Structure 1
């Protein structure tokens, strides 16, 4: 079951900046690092987990910096199949998730597209927030997993956002 959804906290932006600076310092890589996920959307209810999108040149570059990330407390994680993901936890509680996208996939990464769309469409922020609350309730009753329950709304929003960018629809659920 997911952690409780919290009211948007402006401190999440500072937490992202701190984590991004740590990653840059740990790897000495010239990566573009962006804040994604619900904590990047003003007004969005969210689990207090900072999601990052990191643009890497290729998977070899990721593997080169993997030991430094692991030494800094990051571990490979997630069932995501489309790109590498690393997780940071403190006392068994997930605090950050880093998604690594190769340069050629960067502009079409659904996580970035969703973030950009939600920042520009407050009605969809409200709709998605409600879907997340419903997903928490469904997961608590054992009717669905949190991610599966919110996926239909995410898919619909991302489809509209991709169409607006001239991109085809693709499945958002990649686990």
Structure 2
């Protein structure tokens, strides 16, 4: 079942309505844990699996999101950014990723999100050179560098995790204003890697 929903404005993006949520809305517990030094190794294993499945179609495979920031509390879900030449050309990457165990969860303009059945890995696929790619990397790099914003982000996530949410997207939307504020500072600081 596919259900359209309004997406959180994460990484400074405007709210989008043209989104397909595969499987419908999910109510899940939001659990924030202390940084786990095993997350980078988990990423490396998933990187290998993705690189083997996609070959040269994957132009960039990066550890993104909170688990990519040493010392940052996070949901125990490793986020991976995969840049491809054309995210709309699903035939070039979707089948190979599904064959190695990833399941499509989100389809929206310029972005697909797949995840493992254990829901401990999210793979974000977007166009190489896109704003989404740049913002994921810039946000990660800024939080790795700036202790004040890293602490503010961690506090907000912990506070929000203590609330009841109808679905994960409402939690993500609540982080949007702070993410936008932090991303503005990151944009002033850095350039696309």
TM-score after normalising by structure 2 = 0.74
Corresponding position: 1:19 with 2:19: no
CA displacement, residues 72-97 of structure 1 (integer Å, 9 cap, x when unaligned): 1212113654412211122xxx1111
Contact preservation (8 Å) 2:61, 2:80: yes
Moved more, 57-66 or 113-122: 57-66
Answer yes or no: is the 8 Å Cα contact 2:114–2:122 preserved in 1: yes
Q: Does 1:39 align with 2:84?
A: no
Aligned-pair CA distance for 1:108: 5.6
Cα distance in 1, alignment partners of residues 166 and 87 from structure 2: 39
For 2:9, the equivalent position in structure 1 comes to none
Aligned-pair Cα RMSD in Å: 2.6
Q: 1:136 aligns with which of 133, 143, 161?
A: 161
SS at match of 1:104: coil
Match of 2:31 in 1: 4
Partners of 1:73 and 1:10 lie apart in 2 by 24
Contact 1:138 1:149 in 2 (8 A): no
How far the C-alpha of 1:62 sits from its partner, in A, is 4.4
More helix as a share of residues:
1
Cα distance, 1:22–1:116 mapped onto 2, change above 3 Å: same
User: Contact 1:101 / 1:109 at 8 angstroms: preserved in 2?
Assistant: no
Which residue does the alignment assign to 2:136?
A: 111
Q: Which residue of 2 aligns with 1:51?
A: 79
Determine whether 1:83 maps to 2:83: no
Alignment length (residue pairs): 163
Cα gap change, 1:124 to 1:87, in 2 (>3 Å) = same
Residue by residue, what CA displacement relative to the aligned partner does 1:88-132 show, whole Å, maximum 9, x if unpaired?
122xxx111111121231686322111010011011111100000
Which structure has more relative contact order (CA 8 Å, sep 6+)? It is: 2
Alpha-carbon distance between aligned partners in 1 of 2:111 and 2:160, rounded to the nearest angstrom: 25
- Aligned position for 1:29: 56
Following the alignment from structure 1 to structure 2, what is the Cα–Cα distance between the partners of residues 125 and 97? Answer: 21
User: Could you tell me which residue of structure 2 aligns to residue 72 of structure 1?
Assistant: 100
